[in-house]
Structure 1
């Protein structure tokens, strides 16, 4: 049996929204059409994917399993399409993703020098998207910062660097030469706590008020705006903090947490000669 990728995309939308109306709006299709497509998928799979009543929609065990397995399959299909389209261009292309603060110029220039007919594109990404753009084929390789979800990726370590706390210029810690992670424990962190597990794992102080929910912020620029407005702090690799120099924020070395690590990532099992060559060039540049 062949899986219809369109139906699979429809399923993922409903599974993420847990609401057929919102999923239909997200997909720009009519709700009855969406319902028919999901029913057809359930028939093809011989499994019920959702439990529905007038009040709620929830996944069945089969639905939860499909939601685990579907996104990588859709990403792989998208990656295949993008790579085939790039291969069909008059001029071959190679795309390199990078995180803010990481300079990729030397490695890109070295690859272009070896392959004058190759068009090398650079694509800026974010902490949330850095693995996804490799898996869905938007880039061939990406300079990623750990922690990163390594499923489906192959990584090559490149370099490490200190991490710093970024606070408003008028903050109580702003004049210090360095701080300990415990000094930051009562602060509001404006990023995913999994990105700073040392802060996440600090014990709660009994006198602390409940922590305010953090805003959903995708870019470093958005987070720095909140820092400057005294809404909280963030922890960044030194190169990223230094890249975003501005007078209303300062960064302070953190004494007792490990460095940040940068790796080159590409899709596991996709070992092209060009990827291997670029990995060697990148390693040489950061040696």
Structure 2
């Protein structure tokens, strides 16, 4: 076979590969059907930024999922059998407003573990080039790195939940006051809720948007707020939802209830701030007692001790 034929075959093979890659990239960049349709189906009355915030990216890119997806899912099933707690994980995913299933989260845990495993393996390889007898400790470190990555993703999920709940607590008094003002102005609860959702941005506004979407699809107002109370991990949001549900069912003054809840949350935040300040005050004493005061004592007594030493000599 001549060199021209071999070159032509290699060129055709390379050109075909480039065309396949280009076609796949074009297919990936094409907007998905859900992205095109969801803005017209989600009845939250918010701008596209809010819709984008409620629709999270998939756990894996399409190409990576097609190639490595089956193996990662098998590994994720193994992690699920070892760790368990699927109900707790799903509840934390809901509280963190992550649009993922438990399987997607387990796949992310496996990916974090593989990244830590790769880092440990790379460091072990560098060490093995100098000391070939360190193969077994390197393997143990790699396994520990994989376990650390899996647990680190779970810990990061808990951190995401706490950060989101902290933002909800910070937003709650303002949203409750806006809702109370709208109700006091004579608007119905659903209309007031729609006004607050359209005028505000944040995590609590997103939760109220979900409640509004449920109400507009035919669910009773009290039932939608009861679901919010069950879904939330914060007692104040649960009390807020239960108070609105009871007020709607029994006809109690809703504005007074919302004003009282906003005042309670502000008072609780003030107490928490005082407690945090008290703890920080104790922590501020540590450098003073163990660093500043010993240094001051040394500078105060060292000249006298040096003078006595010179006088005795």
- Superposed pair shares fold, TM > 0.5: no
Instruction: Output the TM-score relative to the length of structure 2.
Output: 0.26
Instruction: Output the TM-score relative to the length of structure 1.
Output: 0.28
More helix by share: 2
Report which structure shows greater RCO (CA 8 Å, sep ≥6). 1
More strand by share: 1
Task: Name the larger-Rg structure.
Answer: 2
